[in-house]
Chains A and B, each alone.
Chain A
Amino acid sequence: DAGVIQSPRHEVTEMGQEVTLRCKPISGHDYLFWYRQTMMRGLELLIYFNNNVPIDDSGMPEDRFSAKMPNASFSTLKIQPSEPRDSAVYFCASSSNELGTGDNQPQHFGDGTRLSIL
């Protein structure tokens, strides 16, 4: 299995531009999570989906952030317009529907997208 795949790995763009981060979860996993990691705030859960439906988006910082999951194999996190304070590493993770049995891991993480807003 290829694991959770995120693209791009690095993104550098200017303030005000639209940024789209992409994630392909592990096949068969029905939960998908978006996290943001910064030195100041650590690892924050932004939003997560179950069967392509958003379950909890209370971590989304503001209306400039939006996330979609149009099908079971693809999700996007969009920032429009971007600001320098959005600079962070953004992680996607996916999970199967059994916690602690079968699939050993509660969540499988991608290698992240390092976003720099100038």
Chain B
Amino acid sequence: AQSVAQPEDQVNVAEGNPLTVKCTYSVSGNPYLFWYVQYPNRGLQFLLKYITGDNLVKGSYGFEAEFNKSQTSFHLKKPSALVSDSALYFCAIYTGRRALTFGSGTRLQVQP
């Protein structure tokens, strides 16, 4: 069965520094992978997706993610973090018939 894992409950980074939020996946076949962000008291918002093609995917708000098949990873990255990036980030994998399975979430805290 398809699944994703987010090994870090929280990531702390200083403003202006690069950030990485980790995600690994398990799937039989080719994965469809996604990142969503959740701000306080809001629903999940789509950031980016990997379906096929280039391993480096660019998304909203300056985020990007690198698909690595050999390491079964899909880490979310941003070259320079902003305080406003502080939020809860979810990795997700497509499990068929439009359904997604979400990871446990990683709380990103960007300190000024």
Contact = CB atoms under 8 A, between A and B. Distances in A.
Interface of A: 4, 31, 33, 42-43, 45, 48, 50, 55-56, 91, 93, 95, 97, 99-100, 104-112, 114
Top 9 nearest A-B pairs (CB, nearest first) are A109-B43, A105-B46, A100-B51, A109-B44, A43-B102, A31-B98, A42-B104, A111-B43, A95-B98
12 contacts: A42-B102, A43-B44, A43-B105, A45-B100, A55-B97, A95-B98, A97-B98, A99-B94, A106-B49, A106-B94, A109-B36, A109-B44
A67 to B, nearest CB: 15
Given A43-B90, A91-B44, A106-B46, A99 B98 contact: yes
Interface in B74-112: 90, 92, 94, 97-105
B99 A112 contact: no
Q: State the majority secondary structure of interface residues on A.
A: strand
Interface of B: 32, 34, 36, 41-46, 49, 51, 90, 92, 94, 97-105
Q: State the majority secondary structure of interface residues on B.
A: strand
Contacts of B97: 50, 55-56
A100 to B, nearest CB: 4
Given A43-B90, A50-B97, A99-B98, A104 B46 contact: yes
A111 B42 contact: yes
Nearest to A110: B43
Contact of B99 (A56, A91, A114): A56
Contacts of B49: 100, 104, 106
Given A31-B98, A43-B105, A91 B51 contact: no
A4 B43 contact: yes
A37 to B, nearest CB: 9
A112 B46 CA distance: 15
Nearest to A39: B105
Contacts of A110: 43
